[in-house]
Structure 1
């Protein structure tokens, strides 16, 4: 009988102790977001309502510290930066932001330094992914595909050949990057101050292990309590001794019109990508072949200025590639004579301005990748060709003028099959775009 009573007493005692432990203790995480200006680590209370946020945070920490039923276990400062700029500088910027808030908390509270931890995380990729997932931004699924499955750095033979930043920058001609830069990147330029505390509703305090990582709210509310969660980070291929070549992609190209080259008219051009599918390009040609004994002349020189708009699937994937429409203006002069009647553009002698012809028109073309840094550009243009020209005959070592006329021509004024050499940081074709 005594043994039965003893067993029943121990059973009831254990049940009461277990129930009490489960009902009277919990671990909470309180988070506040502090914002910084782009490229700065100065803690500015007047920026983005930082002042009220910091005041409320200090008041909350003070209240928790004075509450006998609460025990602050840690204060963790998770700082990050937005993807613009050099990764090494972004890492230092995140570290400085975490230190600025840590120093502020040490000055404003009487908590021991051992409770305050800093966790600088370079670029806030996970937070950016969360912002994209909960948005209705254009091309959302394609952006998420890059964020989920493209490593931050892709390295081959010890060199960075591609990466997450470059693919996001190039996606749809930079439209996605510019959208995130305006709406999402400001949220990444900051630090989450996470206060992990244990709340106990009875006099005795039992220390339970707190989770180290929590998901901070990105709400604009000054302070919010959030439930604990587990964050799984993706593997990325990166190296600490490789410089960041993706500070900001730069796209330009040098080119030569193979049709002019075949006609023995050397020429060279340059094209610069302006963004949003637009580019500006110019070229120059010069040929001055002659044979006085046989009166054979092949002379021409001049230049062109061209503005283009790229469009289509290829253009959205890679600048300076795919379909393009544009307008162009040309100035040039010429002197052609092959043993008979000759034709000279403009007035004899003087500069190009004295004897130039001109053309203006609209063009259509397609730039096709054929190698890692090579494209073939096919272009035709239709417009107006105007200017003065002379007719003459070579006789007895002299040139006899016949007549002067004005050129008025509407029709094809431009034809190109250009070999294009892609230059600039990040300006190359991937394997699927062009054969290596």
Structure 2
């Protein structure tokens, strides 16, 4: 006969499955048991960057990393035997494009995972799928809403065994089934799967049948034991203790400089922090210039900073909208009759407004390097002095107060993105 003990741990979900085969008149020697867990990460169309805010990637990866970390670090009786990576793409791109995309996705996730877990000595293999027709067929067969479903199944079957061409599926019934699958099923094909095989080593003990029966009757095994509610459980076969490990929250950090401001001889730097597992980010640009524009009657001197909260739209990669507050000291003259300066040099403009922007990553060899376009409009309370625009020109009017709507953000910025920043360091 067989008795089975299954202990499922809450939190990281370390599953120990111990199968005990009792021999007549004796016992069994327990050595080890292996099992596998899998993480799936999804990519946006045509993208190879690991986006934690897309389709729950961040939440799944954090839970998975916590679990594997507990196994690698916290359990001396458990080891990772090997890792298998499966990388696939959706079929709308050409084979050449998909080959590059699959390779870039594998590299992106490998770099991220190597920064999270001590996997240097763990053997692994990487498999790629450029023609995911078998997976697509399974999706279509389980979706009764696919237009002309039976015809689609027939064409995909032909693609699997080499009787059909992809163009037949693209043009079938005017492309209606293809457009349906593009929006409903293709996103699930753009994925990276990481399967980890864990081996649990158990002490070699001889357990007689009567002792095991008594344990099972006393504990009503097999059963599920939540880790948080059962601090320590000792079956006499294996002892399991809770692992207390708090996974650090990963953030992305952008460091930028605004080319438009530099062209106006305004030095600037900006830092944006992308909050973990969230579409929100905090952006803080700082500007300073104490220079004239080649003559004393032309200048754009200023010292300012903005505090901006941005929402990065999950459905449109790179697009964001923000709300901001700003503070600025200023001294402006443009070769006209007047020079404008904040009153007494200590009455900064104060206000805030809205902004919108878009990020692109045109540098394929350096995916962390990108360009950001942004514009913003704000309402500011001003108190300023008006001077004659000449060397040491006297004041014409002082303490002028006004509320004005002005463009307060305009930029074409170069940025560099640091991923997986923890505690102020880059991993």
**TM-score, L = length of structure 2:** 0.48
Greater fraction helix = 1
Larger-Rg structure? 1
